[in-house]
Amino acid sequence: QAFFCLLLCIPWGSSCPRSCQCTERAGAKAVLCSSQHLEEIPKDIPRDVVFLKLDANSITSIPSNAFRHLSHLEEIDLSRNAIEKIDGAAFKGVAAGLRSLDLSGNRIRSIPKEALLALKAELRLANNPWHCECSLQEVLWEARLDPASVRDITCHTAPRDEYVGKPLLQVLDAGANLCSGRQRSTDVAVLVTMFGWFAMVTGYVVCYARHNRERSRGHGRSLRALPGLQPRAD
C-alpha cells in the first residue's frame, strides 16, 4: 500500500506548470494546483491531464476555450476561488468527456446557461452569491447537479424580496416561476408585432379601396365626357 501511494506521488513529464504538482492516479494523469495563489488558469497544463485541481486559489474568471486543448479532461475542481465571470464557451472542447465540475464557494452571481447545459458533468454550484433568475432556474431543471449540494444554491438577490436568503429549490418548490416574466414579455412582444402587421394590412386595404374608388370615379367622368355619351339637345 505504501508503494502504491509512492507511485501516486511520482512526478511525470517536464511540462508541469510552475507551482503545480503532476502525478498519476490509477494510471490517469493529474495536475494538482491547490492553494498556489493562482490568479488565472495556467496556460501550460499538459494535454493528457485527466484530473485538474485548481481549488483554493484567486482565479477570477474562466475565459472562452480555457480547457479546449485538454481533450482527456474528466474532472475539474475550481472550488474556493474568486470566480465572478464565466464565458459561455468556457468549457468548449471538454463538454463531452467531463464528468465532474466543482464551482462551489466562488463569487458567481450569474452564468450563461449555455456554458453549463452543454455539459454532461455533475455540477457543484453551492455557496455562491447567486442572483436567482430564469437562466439559473433552467440550469437547475436541465443540468446534472450534485444532489448533495443542490440545497445550498441560495438566492443572494432575486426579483422578489421574499426569495432572498432562501434556497432556490425551496423557492421553486413553493410554486415560483422565475421565467414567467420573460414569458409575459415575449407574449407582449408577439402581440405588439401582430398588431403592427394587422394595422399595416388594414391600412393597405383601406388605401387600395380608396384608390380603386377614385379610379372608378375618374373613369365614370371620362365616359360622360365622351361625345357619344353627351345628352342630346331637343
Question: Do residues 126 and 98 lie in contact, with contact meaning Cβ atoms separated by under 8 Å?
Answer: no
- By the 10 Å C-beta count (0-12 exposed, 13-18 middle, 19+ buried), 2 is classed as exposed
Domain range 21-129, its CATH number among 1.10.1040.10, 3.40.50.1460, 3.80.10.10, 2.40.160.20: 3.80.10.10
Q: What is the DSSP letter of 233?
A: P
CB atoms within 10 A of CB 233: 4
Predicted pLDDT at 26: 84
pTM of the predicted structure, to 2 decimals: 0.72
CA distance 42 to 66: 9
Domain positions in the chain are 21-129
Dihedral sign computed on CA atoms, order 110, 115, 120, 121 = negative
Q: Residue 140's CB: how many other CB atoms inside 10 A?
A: 19
The pLDDT, as a whole number, for residue 183 is: 44
Cα distance between residue 42 and residue 12, in whole Å: 17
Produce one character per residue of 9-44: b if its CB has 16 or more CB atoms within 10 Å, e if not. eeeeeeebbeebebbbeeeebbbbbeebebeebbee
CB 39 within 8 A of CB 57: yes
Residue with cell 488565472: 40
- CB count in 10 Å sphere of residue 228: 5
Give the up-direction half-sphere exposure of residue 190: CA atoms within 13 A in the CB hemisphere: 6
Rg (alpha carbons) of the chain, rounded to whole number? 32
Per-residue pLDDT of the chain (234 residues; tens, 9 = 90+): 443 343 344 444 448 998 999 999 888 999 999 999 999 999 999 999 999 999 999 999 999 999 999 999 999 999 999 999 999 999 999 999 999 999 999 999 999 999 999 899 999 999 999 999 999 999 999 999 999 999 999 999 999 999 999 999 999 999 999 998 644 433 333 343 454 555 565 655 566 667 667 776 665 665 555 565 555 555
Task: Report how far apart, in Å, the C-alpha atoms of 13 and of each of 22, 35, 54, 55, 140 are.
Answer: 8, 22, 19, 22, 40
Residue 179, number of CB atoms within 10 A of its CB = 15
Residue 217: predicted pLDDT: 66
- Measured CA to CA, the distance from residue 147 to residue 153 in angstroms comes to 11
